[in-house]
Amino acid sequence: MEQSVLISVGLPVSLFLIMVGMGLTLTLRDFKVASTAPWPLTYGTVLQVAVLPMVALAIGWLLALSPVMIVGLVLIAACPGGSTSNLFAFLGRGDVALSIILTVVASLVTIVTLPFFVNFAMAQVMDETVAFRLPVLKTIITLVAIIVVPVMLGMFIQRRAPVFSAKAEKGVSAFGALVMVVVILALVLQVGEGVWLMIRDAGFAAALLNIAGIVLGLGGGRLFGLTREQAFTVAIELGIKNGTLGLMVAVTLLNSPEMSVASAVYSVLMFAFGLLMIAYGRVTGMGKQAA
């Protein structure tokens, strides 16, 4: 299926700019702060990049989804938290510093783990005659170009012009949300009439994946010694994914608009779950009392 210029060129460029915006919020001090409490960072990162993709694969099997839908679900699960997660952590009175570092570290680790888990999922559910395969080296190079480079560029700009960075970051975040809406609409038009059936199938699976992330973050986090604020933040990171990255990988590297449906549906549902998490954090007095 031939891609439009919006998808083949606009999506990677937009993602680059969004990741620059993430870099605008970071300083080297943030990484030093995170290193003083490594366990929450380790727990949250492992859940994001390794555990959640396997949970997505299990959900796909249990619901007997189509192979294309299962791979799409694993793809969005393997994506790191999106920059919007930092805002949700703030509004829900979570640990904002932890949220920022979790997003960045997971984004960097994803360069290797995302192609691994997507190819693993395809090996499990796809027929051997199907030509789909995520090119590992090309994917790593692409992810470095649209994640590592722009984050470093954003950090450089933040160091040189902190006042400008604070203003620009808000604009970049709004731009990211606009891009997501436009790309999802373009994909709906590309996939055609079959998209409604795929949305129906992906919706329940995406909701289950989001709920699983919340349970692992909140319940598992507390079980493994995280404070309430840290566990809440991990749950937010697991729920609010970088949907733009998932869409980009599906339609430009896998050349499969069908595989992008799960990312598109998840990207819509995650905001509803995120708002519920914010309400939970504020109602329970998160950040106002000791764990």
pLDDT tens for 129-153 read 555 567 777 778 877 887 778 888 8
pLDDT computed for residue 9 by the predictor: 63
231 compared with 275, residue with greater pLDDT: 231
The rounded distance, in Å, linking the Cα atoms of 54 and 66 is 16
CA angle 9, 14, 18 (to 5 degrees): 155
SS3 at position 81: strand
Q: Which residues 6+ apart lie within 8 Å of 86 measured at CB? A: 25, 96, 99, 100, 103
Count of alpha carbons within 13 Å of 245, Cβ hemisphere only?
Answer: 32
pLDDT computed for residue 232 by the predictor: 95
Res 173 pLDDT > 70: no
SS3 at position 241: strand
The rounded distance, in Å, linking the Cα atoms of 107 and 64 is 30
pLDDT computed for residue 137 by the predictor: 79
Give the residue carrying structure tokens 């373009």: 186
Classify each residue of 238-255 as buried b or exposed e, where b means 16 or more C-beta atoms within 10 Å of its C-beta: bbbbbbbbbbbbbbbbbe
The rounded distance, in Å, linking the Cα atoms of 229 and 97 is 11
The whole-number average pLDDT for the span 28-44 is 79
Res 246 pLDDT > 80: yes
pLDDT band, residue 194 (cuts 50/70/90): low
The rounded distance, in Å, linking the Cα atoms of 260 and 196 is 13
173 compared with 86, residue with greater pLDDT: 86
The whole-number average pLDDT for the span 180-192 is 64
Res 77 pLDDT > 90: yes
pLDDT computed for residue 188 by the predictor: 63
170 compared with 257, residue with greater pLDDT: 257
Q: Domain boundaries in the chain?
A: 5-283
**What is the domain class of 5-283 according to CATH?**
mainly alpha
Task: Decide if 28 contacts 102 (C-beta within 8 A).
Answer: no
Q: Quick one: which H or E segment has residue 270?
A: helix 260-283
Q: Which amino acid is at 133?
A: R
Residue of 82, 248, 246, 97 whose CA lies nearest to 173: 82
DSSP, residue by residue, 105-143? HHHHHHHHHHHHHHHHHHHHHS-TT------HHHHHHHH
pLDDT band, residue 287 (cuts 50/70/90): low
pLDDT computed for residue 243 by the predictor: 82
pLDDT band, residue 209 (cuts 50/70/90): very high
Chain mean pLDDT for the chain = 81
Residue of 155, 173, 148 whose CA lies nearest to 31: 155
- The token duo for 100 is 């920022």
Res 1 pLDDT > 60: no
- The token duo for 229 is 């604020």
Res 215 pLDDT > 70: yes
26-40, 138-152, 188-202 — which is least confidently predicted?
Answer: 188-202
What is this structure's pTM? 0.79
pLDDT computed for residue 78 by the predictor: 94
